[in-house]
């Protein structure tokens, strides 16, 4: 829904020939906020809000976000990644600039996490989703067979050229692409002259500048057990914000009445353990949502201590919600307090 008619009241001295005035009512065109929410990527709510509004910039932003589907959506048969996933053979592939960037950042996250973040786990994901539809547990033999088709180390990326050394490999960018999109939109808005913006794509949020109330942006982190409530509210510390939350409360895998994580552990070929209910990652600057997205996904597998260690060199912080003896417990890194 597009919010129309909101005007930012800019008060300055000497404007329009009077001592104190507002931009509205002057001969100059008033500066407006732009805000809109659309459903993209299989119904994910995507929010874009920024100041000052520019219709040409707005059109470019939405055109970019629409274009992502044709490249990275492995559920669309016509997408570039679906064509690669359907090769079922070894060899080299030339990637588009967008897809080459996705593979590059996925490779960086794979290295950072010692292989725990692995976009080549799509065969394992598909195995467990099929098992859920059939309401049966995958056998050890099935897991082994599908694991043989996984492993980012079986690829080599040199610029736009991707070499695949194992037939049947399939790639899933679900754990990083929304963050990358948010980062790209941030860059587009800044380059286009935006002074302030808030971008939300599912669990990814990027912000810079001040809100319409002339205050730092505040972001609610959903309560995992009560959908209508927030667990806590964090804010931009004044330097911008990149934040991501991953959890299992939206799309768990259910088999025989038992809940399994939708995030797969590439080391075992099985879902992550459900004791970690959600992971929230935050950086005190815009433009790092790709890393926040990847590490919130990886954090579900690695746990708090290792995730805190990985974040420290980059200035990031994390909050875990962990289920212990039937209750939710909050575990957060030392610097998380700067966002509260």
- Look at residue 269 and tell me whether its pLDDT is greater than 90: yes
Query: Does residue 222 belong to any structural domain of this protein?
Result: yes
Question: Quick one: 119 and 189 in the same domain?
Answer: no
Query: Does residue 310 belong to any structural domain of this protein?
Result: yes
Question: Quick one: 212 and 267 in the same domain?
Answer: yes
- Between 17 and 298, where is the model more confident? 298
Strand order in the sheet with 155-158: 91-94, 161-164, 155-158
- Look at residue 34 and tell me whether its pLDDT is greater than 60: yes
**Kind of pairing between the strands at 161-164 and 91-94:** antiparallel
Question: Quick one: 141 and 184 in the same domain?
Answer: no
Rounded Cα distance, 94 and 85, in Å: 14
Per-residue pLDDT at 197: 98
Question: Quick one: 192 and 334 in the same domain?
Answer: yes
Q: What is the CATH number of the domain that holds 121?
A: 1.10.3980.10
**Count of beta carbons in the 10 Å neighbourhood of residue 269:** 22
Per-residue pLDDT at 14: 27
Query: Does residue 64 belong to any structural domain of this protein?
Result: no
Per-residue pLDDT at 274: 84
When the pLDDT of each residue in the chain is averaged and rounded to a whole number, the result is 89
Number of domains in the chain: 3
pLDDT band at 21 (very low <50, low <70, confident <90, very high): very low
Q: What is the CATH number of the domain that holds 263?
A: 3.10.520.10
Domain with 296 in it? 34-55+176-339
Find the range with the poorest average confidence among 216-220, 225-229, 283-287.
Answer: 225-229
Query: Does residue 141 belong to any structural domain of this protein?
Result: yes
Query: Does residue 14 belong to any structural domain of this protein?
Result: yes
Find the range with the poorest average confidence among 55-59, 89-93, 265-269, 325-329.
Answer: 325-329
Question: Quick one: 13 and 133 in the same domain?
Answer: no
Alpha-carbon distances of 183 from 43, 141, 177, 180, 332, rounded to whole Å? 20, 40, 10, 5, 24
Sign of the alpha-carbon dihedral angle for 106, 108, 110, 113: negative
Query: Does residue 147 belong to any structural domain of this protein?
Result: yes
- Look at residue 67 and tell me whether its pLDDT is greater than 50: yes
């Amino acid at each position: 829904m597009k919010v129309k008619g909101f005007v930012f009241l800019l008060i300055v001295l000497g404007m329009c020939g009077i001592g104190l005035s507002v931009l509205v009512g002057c001969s100059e065109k008033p500066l407006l906020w732009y805000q809109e929410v659309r459903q993209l990527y299989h119904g994910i709510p995507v929010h874009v809000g920024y100041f000052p509004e520019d219709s040409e910039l707005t059109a470019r932003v939405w055109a970019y976000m629409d274009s992502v589907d044709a490249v990275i959506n492995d559920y669309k048969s016509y997408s570039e990644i679906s064509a690669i996933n359907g090769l079922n053979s070894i060899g080299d592939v030339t990637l588009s600039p967008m897809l080459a960037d996705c593979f590059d950042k996925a490779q960086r996250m794979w290295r950072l996490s010692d292989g725990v973040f692995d976009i080549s786990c799509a065969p394992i994901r598909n195995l467990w989703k099929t098992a859920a539809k059939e309401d049966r547990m995958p056998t050890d033999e099935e897991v082994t067979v599908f694991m043989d088709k996984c492993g980012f180390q079986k690829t080599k990326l040199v610029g736009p050229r991707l070499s695949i050394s194992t037939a049947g490999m399939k790639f899933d960018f679900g754990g990083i692409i929304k963050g990358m999109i948010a980062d790209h939109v941030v860059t587009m808005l800044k380059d286009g002259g935006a002074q302030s913006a808030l971008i939300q794509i599912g669990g990814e949020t990027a912000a810079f500048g001040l809100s319409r109330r002339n205050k730092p942006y505040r972001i609610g982190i959903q309560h995992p057990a009560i959908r209508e409530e927030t667990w806590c509210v964090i804010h931009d510390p004044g330097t911008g914000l990149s934040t991501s939350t991953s959890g299992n409360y939206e799309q768990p895998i259910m088999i025989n009445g038992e809940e399994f994580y939708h995030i797969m552990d590439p080391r075992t070929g099985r879902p992550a353990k459900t004791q970690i209910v959600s992971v929230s990652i935050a950086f005190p600057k815009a433009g790092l949502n790709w890393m926040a997205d990847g590490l919130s996904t990886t954090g579900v597998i690695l746990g708090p201590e290792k995730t805190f260690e990985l974040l420290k060199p980059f200035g990031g912080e994390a909050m875990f919600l962990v289920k212990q003896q039937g209750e939710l417990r909050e575990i957060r890194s030392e610097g998380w307090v700067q966002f509260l």
